[in-house]
Amino acid sequence: MSTRPARDTRGDAPLTAPIAPRRNAAALVPGPFPVVLFTNSVVMGGMEEHVLQLARGLRDRGFRVGVICSRDDAIRPLREALARAGVEVHALSSRKASPIGALPRMRELAGVLRAYPRAILHLHFTGHIGGDLATIAARVAGSRAVIRSVHLPPVTAVRRRDRMVLRVRDRMLARIICVSEQTRRAHLDVLGRDDKRCVVVHNGVDLTKFSPDVPPVDVRAEFGFDEDAPIVGTVARLGETRKGIDCFLDAAALIAAQRPATRFLIVGEGDLRPALERQAEALGIASKVVFTGHRTDVPGLLAAMRIFAAPSLYEACQYNLLEAMAVGLPSISTPTGVAPEVISDGVTGMLIPFSDAPALARAALELIDDAVRADQIGRRGRDVIAERFSVDAMIEGVVRVYRDVA
C-alpha cells in the first residue's frame, strides 16, 4: 500500500491517511481480496460496534482490511480501536461535500480505494440515503464490487421520485445486507428494492464478553441499592426519542407504585438525558432511578439487573436486546427489528405493544413476582443468542456474501 496520504484541496492537513500500519502483516494468511469498510457516522452506537467487530473478524480470517470513516472527535474510540486491531484507518475530513467539493472528494475516495486493488467496498449506513460518491469512486478505482449494509428500516417519508432514484443507485450494488428480516421486508415494501439483491445477515454478540458468567457490578455499593432490590434496566444512547426511554420511565412509575423496593437503571448518555431526568422527577421516582451516563462496564451492569426492557419505536437489529439476552436476562421488547426473530412471547422473552407503559409494567411485574419463570425465560433467550447470533456467525455470513459476489 502506498503511504502517501491524499491531500485536502484546501492545502491544509491530509484528508485521508492511515492511522497505523497493520501489525505482523507478514504473519497474516492472505485473503482472496481486500475489503474496505466505509461509514460516514459521527456518533458511537450499534453500527459502529458492528463495523469494529466486522473489521476485526475479517482481519483475523486473513483479509486485508481498510476502514474509511470520519475524523470527527465523537468516533475517536472507533478509530483507535480499529488501529489497535491492526486495521488500516483512513479518516476523512468532517467538512461536508458541497456540489463544488463533490469531485475532489470523489477523487480522494478513489485514491484510497486504488490502494486496495480489486477490493470489495462495503458501505455501512443507518438508512438508504447517501453513499453515492463512495459508490462512484469504487467504479473509478476498479473495485471488485460494492455492498451496502443498512442498519435501520426506512422511516422518513418516501416519494415516488425517491424510489426511482434508489433503483438506479441500487444497480451499482452487488448486494444489500439487511440486519434483520423485518428490515429487509421494510426495504422491499416501502422502497421497492430488488428482492434478489437484499439478503439478511444478523448482527452478532461477543459471547465471551456478554455471558451469564460475567460478575455483576456492585450496585449496592455504587448506587446505594438494597441488596435484594429488584432492578429493571435498559441500555440506550439517550439522543433519540425512538429508544422509548420516556415510556420506560412511565412504566417505572407504575411498577414502583406496586413494588416500591424496585429500582431502575438507565445506562447511556445523550442530549435527552436532562429532559428524562426531569420526567423522573415529575413522576416522583427520581430517588428510584439511576442514570449511569456512559459506561464501559455494560456487561457487569446487565448482570446486576433482574429484568431488561427495550421499548424502542423502531430498530433494525438492536445490540442492546441481543446483549441482554446473551447475559441471560429475561427481556421485554417491542416487536421491532430483530425482536420477533429472537423472542417467542412468554418463552424466550416478552413482547409488548409500542408506547404502552402499562403493558411494559405488567410484563415486568410478572417477572418480578415469578423468579422461576423469569430464570427459565432468561436461559432460553441466552440459548437463542448462543446458537444464532454470535460474532462468528455474523462474520461468516458477511464473508459468504463477499464470496458470492466475488
Which pLDDT value is given to residue 369? Answer: 97
How many helices and strands, by DSSP H and E, does the chain display? Answer: 15, 15
pLDDT tens digits, one per residue of 175-198: 999 999 999 999 999 888 999 999
Whether 12 shows a pLDDT value over 50: the answer reads no
Mean local confidence (pLDDT), 105-109: 87
Lowest-confidence region among 4-8, 199-203, 292-296: 4-8
Whether 41 shows a pLDDT value over 90: the answer reads no
Whole-number Å distance between alpha carbons of 326 and 388: 11
Share of the chain above pLDDT 90, in %: 73
Do the Cβ atoms of 276 and 253 come closer than 8 Å?
Answer: no
Element holding 160 (H helix, E strand) = helix 160-170
Specify the pairing of strand 231-235 against strand 198-200: unpaired
Taken as a whole, the chain contains a residue count of 406
Mean local confidence (pLDDT), 367-393: 97
Which pLDDT value is given to residue 132? Answer: 87
Lowest-confidence region among 12-16, 50-54, 76-80, 94-98: 12-16
Whether 259 shows a pLDDT value over 90: the answer reads yes
Cβ count within 10 A of residue 99:
6
Cβ count within 10 A of residue 289:
22
Q: Calculate the CA 222 to chain-centre distance.
A: 28
Alpha-carbon radius of gyration of the chain:
22
DSSP 137-199: HHHHHT-SEEEEEE-S---S---HHHHHHHHHHHTT-SEEEESSHHHHHHHHHHH---TTTEE
Do the Cβ atoms of 367 and 378 come closer than 8 Å?
Answer: no
Tell me the whole-structure pTM to 2 decimals: 0.87
Do the Cβ atoms of 263 and 291 come closer than 8 Å?
Answer: no
Domain 6-204+390-405 has CATH 3.40.50.2000: yes
pLDDT tens digits, one per residue of 282-329: 999 999 999 999 999 999 999 999 999 999 999 999 999 999 999 999
Whole-number Å distance between alpha carbons of 153 and 266: 25
Whether 2 shows a pLDDT value over 70: the answer reads no
pLDDT band at 20 (very low <50, low <70, confident <90, very high): very low
Whole-number Å distance between alpha carbons of 348 and 351: 10
Residue intervals of the chain classified under CATH 3.40.50.2000 are: 6-204+390-405, 219-388
Looking at domain 219-388, its CATH architecture is 3-Layer(aba) Sandwich (3.40)
pLDDT tens digits, one per residue of 59-80: 999 999 999 998 888 889 999 9
- Contact residues for 201 (Cβ-Cβ < 8 A; gap 6+): 149, 177, 178, 179, 394, 397, 398, 401
pLDDT tens digits, one per residue of 211-225: 999 999 999 999 999
pLDDT band at 98 (very low <50, low <70, confident <90, very high): low
Which pLDDT value is given to residue 94? Answer: 53
Whether 8 shows a pLDDT value over 50: the answer reads no
Which amino acid appears at position 30 of this protein? P
Which pLDDT value is given to residue 340? Answer: 97
pLDDT tens digits, one per residue of 319-365: 999 999 999 999 999 999 999 999 999 999 999 999 999 999 999 99
What would the grid cell of residue 290 be? 439511576
pLDDT band at 9 (very low <50, low <70, confident <90, very high): very low
Mean local confidence (pLDDT), 369-391: 97
Taking all residues of the chain, what is their mean pLDDT, rounded to a whole number?
A: 89
What would the grid cell of residue 201 be? 445477515
Share of the chain above pLDDT 70, in %: 90
Which pLDDT value is given to residue 373? Answer: 98
Which pLDDT value is given to residue 108? Answer: 87
Backbone angles phi, psi at 86, to 5 degrees: 80, 15
Backbone angles phi, psi at 102, to 5 degrees: -65, -45
Which pLDDT value is given to residue 30? Answer: 47
Whole-number Å distance between alpha carbons of 94 and 252: 40
